[in-house]
Amino acid sequence: MSGEMDKPLISRRLVDSDGSLAEVPNKAPKVGILGSGDFARSLATRLVSSGFSVVVGSRNPKRTAGLFPSAAQVTFQEEAVSSPQVIFVAVFREHYSSLCSLGDQLAGKILVDVSNPTEKEHLQNHQSNAEYLASLFPACTVVKAFNVISAWALQSGPRDGNRQVLICSDQLEAKHTISEMARTMGFTPLDMGSLASAREIEAIPLRLFPSWKVPILLALGLFVCFYAYNFIRDVLHPYVRKHENKFYKMPLSVVNTTLPCVAYVMLSLVYLPGVLAAALQLRRGTKYQRFPDWLDHWLQHRKQIGLLSFFFGMLHALYSFCLPLRRSHRYDLVNLAVKQVLDNKTRLWVEEEVWRMEIYLSMGVLALGTLALLAVTSLPSIANSLNWKEFSFVQVKQISLELQLQLGPGPA
């Protein structure tokens, strides 16, 4: 981690270009931050711009001071923790023990644990990071918060998707204080109960696209089933019955016949749970009763199933667009021409083929246009959230979380 100081996520120039970050009102509540990494810098910027007075504790304040807004005071750890009542611990778990010498000064204060474990650490340690911090500082109140907010989201301000800050602690008052701070910073606090929930909160950024797992498995399962059926029908059956070798159809033609089958079934699976839910409500005579779990999950996955259906439909359009590129298609054309000459016909016009190609081409162009529009509107924010130079595992997970929160579950 040591070299990371040289590549700050936010530069001083950028921070100070915002006039509101240059000075802090006199009576602003004081907040301490231990650590001077990415998270500490983004947090300091957001706190200062939300009207807090920030004091940062670093092992080497001289080296790091230039990376913080000038309104934030950067000093040694001992000095930084002396006056604020709330101190954010923006340090990795493995370095918590190096803070033990501050124990006396920290006594009676609120420590906010913002850390995220890696998947390996999460499996290895049965105690959450927050509970571990609480065991090292028994005289402090530990609150778990802000770990699901990436440094980038903190820096650029809360946006629609990732506004929620999950908070847990054993002390109600401390939880309230941090909730109010989160609110002042523009986030939405969400009470997750006692500190025992910290492990659950720490696991959230580790889950990669959780609500996509079932729809993707479903789509793959359907694809395998339909592919097997189409393979038997279009390739195996002609081979067994008439000894026709049509195995060349496997990579393109059979796949292309399979794609719309999957797309249609997935599309029907988007609408079916709504109909079932309506029927259930009519039967029960009320809409104020919980749906069974299976129906509830199904309803919540409709958006993902619908997007996958759209994806398979688009793939079908692209595959169909490629069909005339095949050599077999050229042979068919030549054979048709020969047949035409032999039959003495003057004009060959296969109406169905013509329409098919016209429609596929227009769908292909529409799809490409939609994709280009999506790329233009959403790529900058994704690229922004990737801190390319300091690309860490946890950040990848957080991007997935951000996307996940932005996509959200379908309307229940």
Ligand X SMILES: NC(=O)C1=CN([C@@H]2O[C@H](COP(=O)(O)OP(=O)(O)OC[C@H]3O[C@@H](n4cnc5c(N)ncnc54)[C@H](OP(=O)(O)O)[C@@H]3O)[C@@H](O)[C@H]2O)C=CC1
Tokens 């070798």 sit at which residue?
A: 245
Q: Which does 167 bind (CB under 5 to 8 A by kind): Fe ion, ligand X, none?
A: none
DSSP 139: T
Based on CB atoms, which residue is closest to ligand X, 38 or 131?
38
CB-facing half-sphere around the CA of 347: CA atoms within 13 A: 2
Q: For residue 178, how many other CB atoms are within 10 A of its CB?
A: 24
**Least distance (Å) from ligand X to the CB of residue 220?**
32
Shortest spacing between CB 135 and ligand X, in angstroms: 17
Q: Beta partners for 53?
A: 30
Between CA 262 and CA 220 the distance in angstroms is 9
Q: How far is CA 35 from CA 43, 56, 101, 278, in A?
A: 11, 7, 15, 54
Q: Shortest Cβ distance from residue 263 to ligand X (Å)?
A: 37
Kindly report the CA angle at 130 between 127 and 132, in degrees rounded to 5?
50
Q: CA quadruple 45, 130, 77, 190: dihedral positive or negative?
A: positive
Of these partners, ligand X, Fe ion, none, which one is at the site of residue 38 (CB under 5 to 8 Å by kind)?
A: ligand X
Q: Which of residues 249-268 bind Fe ion (CB under 5 A)?
A: 260
* Structural contact between residues 58 and 25, judged by C-beta atoms closer than 8 angstroms: no
Q: In the complex, which residue's CB is closest to ligand X?
A: 37
Could you tell me the smallest distance in angstroms from the CB atom of residue 100 to ligand X? 11
395 binds, among Fe ion, ligand X, none (CB under 5 to 8 A by kind): ligand X
Q: Which residues bind ligand X (CB under 6 A)?
A: 1, 4, 35-40, 58-60, 64, 90-92, 95, 98, 114-116, 147, 150-151, 394-395, 398
Q: Are 143 and 396 in contact (CB under 8 A)?
A: no
Q: Which does 151 bind (CB under 5 to 8 A by kind): ligand X, Fe ion, none?
A: ligand X
CB of 290 to Fe ion, least distance (A): 40
According to DSSP, the residues that pair with 30 across neighbouring strands are: 53
Q: How far is the CB of 90 from ligand X (least distance, A)?
A: 4
Least Cβ distance, residue 205 to ligand X (angstroms): 7
Residue 64 site contact among Fe ion, ligand X, none (CB < 5 to 8 Å, cut-off depends on kind): ligand X
The sign of the dihedral angle between the CA atoms of 371, 374, 379, 380 is positive
- The one of ligand X, Fe ion, none whose footprint includes residue 122, by CB under 5 to 8 A per kind, is none
Q: Considering CB distances under 5 to 8 angstroms, the limit depending on partner class, which of ligand X, Fe ion, none binds residue 60?
A: ligand X
Nearer to Fe ion, 160 or 352 (CB): 352
Number of residues located near Fe ion, criterion CB under 5 A: 1
CB closer to Fe ion out of 260 and 306: 260
Is residue 113 within 8 Å of residue 141, measured between CB atoms? no
Work out the burial of residue 157: count CB atoms within 10 Å of its CB; fewer than 13 is exposed, 13-18 middle, 19 or more buried: middle
Residues interacting with Fe ion, by CB under 5 A? Answer: 260
